[in-house]
Amino acid sequence: MTADRITSATLAAMQRRGEPIACLTCYDAAFARLLEGAGVEVLLVGDSLGMVLQGQPSTVPVQLQHMVYHTSCVSRAATRALVIADMPFLSYATEERSIAAAERLMGEGGAAMVKLEGGGELVQTVDRLTRFGVPVCAHLGLLPQSVHRLGGYRYQGRDDAGAARIRADALALQEAGASMLVLECVPAALAEAISGELAIPVIGIGAGSGCDGQVLVLHDMLGLLPGRSPSFSKDFAAEYGGVAAALAGYVAEVKGRRFPGPEHILH
């Protein structure tokens, strides 16, 4: 590991300094180099690849071997950024399966951290993974792998009970050893409150500018997908012109807390 390699400790130090963390999804070596060149600190190999690369209707069909393959493509090219790999649907349904999946994503794929979706039901899993040396990024709010249970892609935590549950889950997952948290599609005030309560970095997507960093799906922020983009995203390529300029613009706007703007969040 090189001296300037970004680690979970680097991100924690950025959080303490109040320096926003720039994250984007990434699925291949070419974009890994481009994102690093633009100054993106975290490359998330998301199971969103099922939708943007494979043409699947959701992330649910994505298999562990797909995640290992794409993570290895990204990690071979990344020389500085922290590479996080999503654990796909049901790959962490038991503690034993979660350990086996993490072993492949880190051992074969080269990930430096794994991400899983869910709240209090995963406390023991997160605790066991971290006890075995696996850095974990938790994910609360809208959980794409649970889209069939949720009945669609909807904002979460909009009522008092839902907000309280997300806050309690966030604290419990931090206590279990999570190194990082992604909050997706929750009201901006709730995300800002959770970011203020936690000692670990909180990365928002559709969660306002009060988080410690931001993440978007690469294909959304480059305007590469047909149809309507998520309301919390922005077509940076259309504004800045060209891929490299769009990536640099994204990093600059995240660092300057200009993105997300009021039009990208739920108040």
Element (H or E) spanning 203, and its range?
A: strand 202-205
DSSP reduced 3-state for 53: coil
- DSSP-derived letter for residue 58 is S
Of the listed 36, 117, 184, 192, which one is catalytic? 184
| Cis amide linkage into residue 57, ω under 30° from 0 | no
Distances (CA, A) of 229 to 45, 137, 167, 233: 20, 25, 28, 7
Residue 41 is encoded by which pair of tokens? 């600190």
Q: Is 96 an active-site residue?
A: no
Contact, 173 vs 197, CB < 8 A? no
- Enumerate the H helices of the chain as residue ranges: 8-17, 29-38, 49-52, 64-77, 95-107, 123-131, 147-150, 160-176, 188-197, 218-221, 236-240, 243-255
State how far the Cα of 65 lies from the Cα of 61, in Å rounded to an integer.
12
Letter for the amino acid at 137? Answer: C
Strand partners, 136: 114
Task: List active site positions.
Answer: 184
